[in-house]
Amino acid sequence: MLLHFSAEPNIAVPKTSRQYGRFPAVSQLKMATEPAPVFSDHLIFVLYGAMLMSLGIRSIVLALLLPAFLPGLPMLRAGDGLNLPDNSFQSFSEGLRGTLILTGGGAIPDDARSRFVAAIPEAGSVVVLCTSSDQPGTLDKTVAWLKEAGLMNCVSASSLPGSDEFLSESAMLLKDAKGVWICDDQPSRLAVDLHGTDVEHALRRLLNRGGVIGGTSAASAVMSKVTITAGAAGDDDSVSLSGLDLLPNSVIQTRLPQPDRRSLLRRIVTENPDRFGLGIDENTSVIVTGRSMEVLGERKATILLAKSNHFPASEETITAGQFADLTQLRRAARQRSEHRNPGALTSGSPNVPSGSLVIVGGGAMSDDIVDRFLQLAGGPAARLVILPTAIPRQEAFAQGVPGFLRKADVADIRVLPQSYPREIASDDFQQALKGATGVWFGGGRQWNFVDAYEDTSAVELFKDVLRRGGVIGGSSAGATIQGEFLVRGHPLGNTVMMAEGYDRGFAFLPGTAIDQHFSQRKRKPDLIPVIQRHPDMLGIGIDEGTAIVVQGTVAEVIGQHSAWFLPSGRLRDFNAEQLRMPDEEILNKLYVSVSSGETIDLTCLKQSTLSPPK
């Protein structure tokens, strides 16, 4: 199934894709974000910021004390929402600082030319980089269209192309440039002439300071690390020169419809499984900004991933107006190259040997859920850490204490919006978690948690809270991240149940795949293919306004509605067609339903009813 992605903002939410996919069916971008309580906090902090400006610097002491007397506005501490994010560096997940415009040959689409022009600030210089001396008209034609588009400050080296003087002069011109257009040439000549030179380093610096780099055909292909040179698919001498590596973890091939070129790209991706293949048709461009990859022009781009022990080799196309996510593709390629099985049990069966989990299915936070979380965190002695990082970074830094905790009688509440590795390694962040008795994961999109904390010390610090007997809680995205298999993890939308590269949670509740907003959004069919594909996992769906409280192997359901449990053994009673389009009768037979006030043992799915308090 091809999962395309469109950028129209007003299209209705599509049906959920229940198979592994890289491109959601419809673009929702920010609209796809799960509900998160941000607007009231924004208003408070905007008003508070305006007040600070009017007070002036001499009133800083008053500014720091005043929140204690304003209901709902937390005291300012290191890590709270009034901190400004440090955006002086970017993490792996955020992709490129600047923009790449990669054209597959033929005519450059008008929209791609416009994007290049728009990326150049007024009076900014553009370097035209032509390495060929046997195509004298190429430089003049390129300068002509750039000036016709309004970019009058075009410069190029006057030295003989390919000479040391040419490279030195070009590097100097690039030092202050805002953009560069690389002329088409033989890919082998581009790779040999530019790789490892001062020009390559200057191009990388230009991109890192937010500049734009464009090129067509071979000039696009050389922007990957592995540059494919001319030749037939079976020709060993046709490939593997080192390129500029401006588009990380990729192999780029242009003029893809030509059969030899497609076969060659497949071969190189197979030989370099840690890289995704990007094939671009003629008269087509791919615009890469940050982590967004957008296709413009007449035809299409093709994304390739190598075969692994757990996935077949794959090719999917995206057409004009559609998107892919650079970080997701990089993560998918890395996962395949390491032959990681996203459905493997790494922490055993469902069990929380120490501490407690409060896993909420989204929606309203009822008093009994809030009270249970606070009780498990230590009551008045609780020291809470709030993680708003499932929402965009700028919004996370504007977040304060969630509304349901603002009146909590606890010893301390810290909001930690930091999401970059250097921030997470800071002493302030580390000490806040080391002293926490409870951690709350907020709503939003669960892939943001993965980007923020995976492969950092934070995940073990979270688990240390449990080891000390504390509690981890979360709602919506903050519920799903607690499972071992991550559902709805695609960065471009929440309708893909299994997204390569974003299919592993933090396994606070090992051996599970957790979905939320379950009955209210009619999500019961969506977990079925997840458990079919990964039968070692226990599927758990939690209704809105409902939580499961897990201690040991027992889950207690509290709140307004029910929780639903799907073991793989129950799938054997139905054929493939019944599972593909299950009716309500089949769904009721598949799921174990546990209502509020009941418990279930997650190892055997034996239910019991809690005795009323005496």
The yes-or-no verdict on residue 475 having pLDDT over 90 is yes
pLDDT band, residue 5 (cuts 50/70/90): very low
- Could you tell me the two tokens for 601? 């043992």
In angstroms, the Cα distances linking 324 to 120, 225, 293, 598, 614 are: 24, 20, 5, 43, 58
Rounded-to-integer distance, Cα 328 and Cα 447, Å: 10
pLDDT of residue 187: 79
Give per-residue pLDDT as tens, 151-170: 999 999 998 888 999 999 99
**What is the number of other CB atoms lying within 10 angstroms of the CB of residue 12?**
7
> Which of 183, 193, 181, 260 lies closest to 228, judged by CA?
260
Give per-residue pLDDT as tens, 166-190: 999 999 999 999 999 999 888 788 8
Average pLDDT of the residues in 56-84:
38
Bridge-based pairing of strands 17-20 and 496-498 is parallel
Residue with structure tokens 């003989």?
Answer: 160
Q: Which residue has the higher pLDDT, 541 or 69?
A: 541
CATH superfamily, domain 92-337, is Class I glutamine amidotransferase (GATase) domain (3.40.50.880)
**What is the number of other CB atoms lying within 10 angstroms of the CB of residue 461?**
19
CA atoms within 13 A on the CB side of 381: 5
Q: What are phi and psi of 116, to 5 degrees?
A: -60, -45
Give per-residue pLDDT as tens, 431-467: 999 999 999 999 999 999 999 999 999 999 999 999 9
b vs e for 110-140, b when ≥16 Cβ sit within 10 Å of the residue's Cβ?
Answer: eebbebbbebbeeeebbbbbbbbeeeeebbe
Q: What are phi and psi of 298, to 5 degrees?
A: -85, -30
Residues 250 and 303: beta-carbon distance below 8 Å: no
Rounded-to-integer distance, Cα 586 and Cα 527, Å: 14
Rounded-to-integer distance, Cα 458 and Cα 110, Å: 46
Residues 543 and 562: beta-carbon distance below 8 Å: yes
pLDDT of residue 85: 52
Rounded-to-integer distance, Cα 2 and Cα 21, Å: 8
Average pLDDT of the residues in 56-71:
40
Rounded-to-integer distance, Cα 389 and Cα 416, Å: 8
pLDDT of residue 595: 97
b vs e for 534-554, b when ≥16 Cβ sit within 10 Å of the residue's Cβ?
Answer: beebbbbbbbbbbbbbbbeeb
Rounded-to-integer distance, Cα 150 and Cα 127, Å: 14
pLDDT of residue 22: 59
The yes-or-no verdict on residue 273 having pLDDT over 70 is yes
pLDDT band, residue 312 (cuts 50/70/90): very high
Rounded-to-integer distance, Cα 360 and Cα 548, Å: 7
pLDDT band, residue 23 (cuts 50/70/90): low
pLDDT of residue 148: 93
Rounded-to-integer distance, Cα 333 and Cα 304, Å: 9
Rounded-to-integer distance, Cα 611 and Cα 128, Å: 78
> Which of 447, 482, 461, 354 lies closest to 416, judged by CA?
461
Q: How far is C-alpha 346 from the geometric centre of its chain's CA atoms? A: 23
Give per-residue pLDDT as tens, 101-156: 999 999 999 999 999 999 999 989 999 999 876 666 788 899 999 999 999 999 99
Radius of gyration of the chain (CA): 27
The yes-or-no verdict on residue 12 having pLDDT over 80 is no
pLDDT of residue 134: 61
Residue with structure tokens 């293949």?
Answer: 277
The yes-or-no verdict on residue 259 having pLDDT over 90 is no
pLDDT of residue 421: 94
Where in 290-351 does DSSP place strands (E)? 292-297, 300-305, 314-319, 323-325
> 356 pairs with which residues across the strands?
471
In angstroms, the Cα distances linking 325 to 35, 114, 235 are: 22, 22, 32
pLDDT of residue 87: 42
Residue with structure tokens 């209705």?
Answer: 12
CATH number, domain 39-73+354-608: 3.40.50.880
Q: What are phi and psi of 439, to 5 degrees?
A: -125, 135
Q: What are phi and psi of 434, to 5 degrees?
A: -65, -25
Where in 239-336 does DSSP place strands (E)? 241-242, 250-254, 276-280, 284-289, 292-297, 300-305, 314-319, 323-325
Residues 424 and 418: beta-carbon distance below 8 Å: yes
**369-372, long-range: CB within 8 Å, 24+ apart, which pairs?**
369/547, 369/558, 369/559, 370/404, 370/405, 370/408, 372/547, 372/549, 372/558
Domain boundaries, the chain: 39-73+354-608, 92-337
Question: What is the residue type of 217?
Answer: S
pLDDT band, residue 50 (cuts 50/70/90): very low
Arithmetic mean of pLDDT over the chain: 86
The yes-or-no verdict on residue 39 having pLDDT over 80 is no
> 26 pairs with which residues across the strands?
none
pLDDT of residue 227: 86
